Amino acid sequence: MQHLRNTDGTTGSHFVLSLTLSLAVLAPSVLAAESYFGIGVGMSYTADQPLDGVDAELDFDVGFWNGALTYGRWYENGWSLELEAAYRRSELEIVRTGQPPGFFVTGTENALHGLSLMMNASRRFDFQWPVTPYLGGGIGVSAVFLELTDETPGSGEYVRDTAAAFAYQLYAGLLVPLGDRWRLAADYRWRQTAEFDMSTADDESISLDYTSRMLSLNFQRLLGGARNPEARSLPSERDGFYVDGRIGTAIASDTDITTRFDTTLDAFDLGVAGALALGYTHVRPTGRRLRAELEFHGWSNEADVIDFGYFEGEVPLTGEVQVRGASLNVIYDLIPGWTLNPYAGLGIGYADVDYDIRVWNGSGYEPWVRDSHEGMSAQALLGFGIRLTTRAELSMNYRYWLAPSIELTDPMGATIGTEHGTHLLMLGLRYNL
């Protein structure tokens, strides 16, 4: 069953053809201003994928095993051409087969592996900022290996197959100079493939699309005599108030139910997070900034699975957990004067965590908990800022947020004790008033 094919039955020779054409396009040109080699890493999210041909759907976890190698040229007219070889691994979390309880939660070995070769073209825009925004897209070929085993006792291998198909992507990002010869390309990428044709262990024909989104960091080394342009200096920032709008993704942690033996909320979907902050900046004589801000934030995550332990096992859920709250944050610059200005911070706040979750009972979904809790919360964050103008600054940060003690009441009047933690990746735009 290990064979490589496209939807029309052709073989992996598309890789050879794509590579030959790409190298021809990237041949030296009189317009070439600079060339580079890059190494990239990133975090990916793969949308739920229906398996056409069988009544099943694949639900993926967030993927962190992603990497890329790139070689490209930036031209004097602002365009670039790039050859990209990338690997993405999307770990399978749940496989739904028909209506519940026809589903199973997969082990860590089950995953969709993707290897792609892409030819990209992008256009950069010079706004006289310290960083340079760009837009791009690419076409190429993608090969995937799907490994899926039902670990339910008495079950076994479900799918173990490979296939290849046409792929394309769109992306947007920022070029950040890191000294004379290095720079960082930070971007968001959306990738789509044509259908992959595969077979199950029972020789049933199946097909699936592969749609993924990725936050990528590509560290590029300029080759030859190329150098980054000299950064335009901005006036020193002064004390004053600011507003900051933020948007990002929320990844809820698995949480134990402390009042129920061996019970865990075991899987949440990726959520959308937003925040708005009003703060004050104090610039110290060393150039480091100390900021204090009041932040209002919110996000939600859909619940997928609850694990009742050895005797009952894992059962599907529907519903969501919503977080709404405010936090007082203190943020301090770590290294002043860089184009990328790293910072760290802590926050303490108050949050309303609302649970509306229903559990599968064998014939339908019934309420498991529909209650909310108000209480203390805390967060720690680490990120970097990029000054765009004298007043505007772009920022990106990771933070871990925690409501450490939550008490809820289920429909039968029993107490449910738990905590709720969330990993957040936030992109912000701050404006000095």
CB atoms within 10 A of CB 218: 23
Distance CA 142, CA 329 (A): 44
Instruction: Give the domain ranges of the chain.
Output: 13-222, 240-432
Would the CATH topology of 13-222 be identical to that of 240-432? yes
CB atoms within 10 A of CB 160: 17
Q: Decide: 163 and 114 in contact? Cβ < 8 Å.
A: no
CA dihedral 198→199→205→209, nearest 10 degrees, is -30
Distance CA 193, CA 121 (A): 18
**CA 371: distance to chain centroid?**
30
What pLDDT digit, counting tens, does each position of 267-301 carry?
A: 788 899 999 999 999 988 877 889 999 999 999 99
Q: Is 24 helix (H, G, I), strand (E, B) or coil?
A: helix
Distance CA 429, CA 297 (A): 15
Q: Decide: 28 and 224 in contact? Cβ < 8 Å.
A: no
pLDDT (tens, 9 = 90+) of the chain, 433 residues, equals 333 444 444 444 555 455 545 544 555 544 556 899 999 999 988 888 888 877 778 888 888 889 999 999 988 888 999 999 999 988 887 777 765 556 655 555 788 888 999 999 999 998 888 889 999 999 999 998 988 876 655 566 778 889 999 999 999 999 988 888 999 999 999 999 998 888 887 888 888 888 889 999 999 999 987 888 776 677 778 899 999 999 999 999 988 888 777 788 877 888 999 999 999 999 888 778 899 999 999 999 998 888 887 767 778 888 999 999 999 999 998 887 777 889 999 999 999 999 999 988 878 889 999 999 999 999 999 999 988 888 899 999 999 999 999 999 988 888 889 999 999 999 999 999 9
Per-residue pLDDT, 3? 39
Of the candidates 353, 388, 334, the one whose C-alpha atom is nearest the C-alpha of residue 128 is: 388
Per-residue pLDDT, 8? 45
Q: How far is CA 214 from CA 173, 217, 348, 399, in A?
A: 12, 10, 30, 18
Per-residue pLDDT, 101? 56
End-to-end CA distance of the chain: 63
**CA 200: distance to chain centroid?**
29
Distance CA 52, CA 333 (A): 51
Strand residues in 98-195 grouped as ranges (E): 103-105, 111-124, 132-149, 157-178, 182-193
Residue given tokens 């340079």 in the structure block = 132
Q: Decide: 386 and 342 in contact? Cβ < 8 Å.
A: no
CA dihedral 246→249→250→253, nearest 10 degrees, is -140
Per-residue pLDDT, 226? 80
Distance CA 399, CA 236 (A): 27
Q: Decide: 333 and 289 in contact? Cβ < 8 Å.
A: yes
Q: How far is CA 333 from CA 245, 349, 385, in A?
A: 19, 22, 9
Distance CA 265, CA 420 (A): 10
Is 1.20.1250.20 the CATH number for 13-222? no
Residue 184 identity: L
Q: How far is CA 189 from CA 40, 230, 250, 365, 397, in A?
A: 13, 28, 18, 36, 18
Please tell me the pTM assigned to this model. 0.84
Residue given tokens 């990725």 in the structure block = 214
Per-residue pLDDT, 5? 42
Facing residues of 36 across strands?
Answer: 72, 222
Q: Is 78 helix (H, G, I), strand (E, B) or coil?
A: coil
Facing residues of 211 across strands?
Answer: 192
CATH number of this structure's domain 240-432: 2.40.160.20
Distance CA 185, CA 221 (A): 11
